[in-house]
Amino acid sequence: MEGILRIGVFYDGSHFNYAQNHFWGKKLGWLSFQPMHKLFEDYIRKHYQGFLDYKVVYAAWYQGLHPTTQATEKNLKLDRNRHQDLLHAGIEAKFHPMSQTQGEKGIDVAMAIDILQVGIEGTIDVAILVTGDGDFVPLVRALMKKGMGVIVAYFEYEEDGRKSFANERLKDACNFVLNINSLEKDKDYKNTFKSLFKQLDTK
């Protein structure tokens, strides 16, 4: 038996935000970070055997923010609530200014550089990328060259003409692939899936 397998979780904020809103609209509750990390630890325990323990030791969130002149009061409140959720879960929030003309363009580059830096520092053994973006394929390959395992965890659904999914090249490049939506009907993960959500007081 070896020691602790160190896990890093890296959230593509837009991908996760849309999923939170999707599940909330389905009346499942608010998708939460702490049980999500527990899911990741249990999932990796099944795929990387031989360690004494499996722990998320680092997590980071990447998101573009509108300037206050463009954001509504509701947007500002949601951003503050989400920031509080990140703080309580021990996730390092890395917000980037939104371009007025190009939106979140460039945030994936900043995210990739940061993840690669963490990988080079040798502070984690396995990286979980919560995204579906195919632009991260070169990052995955670079991390694997450093001897790291890489898992893509993503949300797959269709709602009001909008699809959420993971790029096929990205899935092919990673060691393992976790479609979080598929767990809802998986007999081994049904209860775990339900545990991902909390009920909020909306009064």
The secondary structure of residue 135, as a DSSP letter, is G
Helices (H), the chain: 13-25, 33-47, 73-88, 107-121, 137-145, 168-173, 190-194
Q: Are 20 and 30 in contact (CB under 8 A)?
A: yes
**Mean pLDDT of residues grouped by 10 in the chain (203 residues)?**
92 94 93 96 95 97 78 76 90 80 69 94 96 96 96 95 94 98 94 92 53
Quote the pLDDT of residue 203: 47
User: For position 189, what pLDDT does the model report?
Assistant: 93
Q: Which two tokens stand for residue 22?
A: 């999707």
Q: What is the rounded CA–CA span in Å between residue 171 and residue 174?
A: 6
- The whole-model pTM stands at 0.91
Provide the pLDDT for residue 77. 77
Q: What pLDDT is attached to residue 99?
A: 62
| Angle value at C-alpha 54, between 61 and 56, nearest 5 degrees | 15
Instruction: Name the amino acid, one letter, at 36.
Output: M
Pairing relationship of beta strands 162-164 and 157-159 according to DSSP bridges: antiparallel
The sign of the torsion formed by the CA atoms of 71, 62, 88, 46 equals positive
State how far the alpha carbon of 37 is from the alpha carbons of 7, 10, 42, 54, 61, in Å: 9, 11, 9, 11, 13
Q: Which CATH number fits domain 2-198: 1.10.3720.10, 3.90.1110.10, 3.40.50.1010, 3.40.50.280?
A: 3.40.50.1010
Give the pLDDT of residue 95.
84
In angstroms, the CA 39 to CA 45 distance is: 10
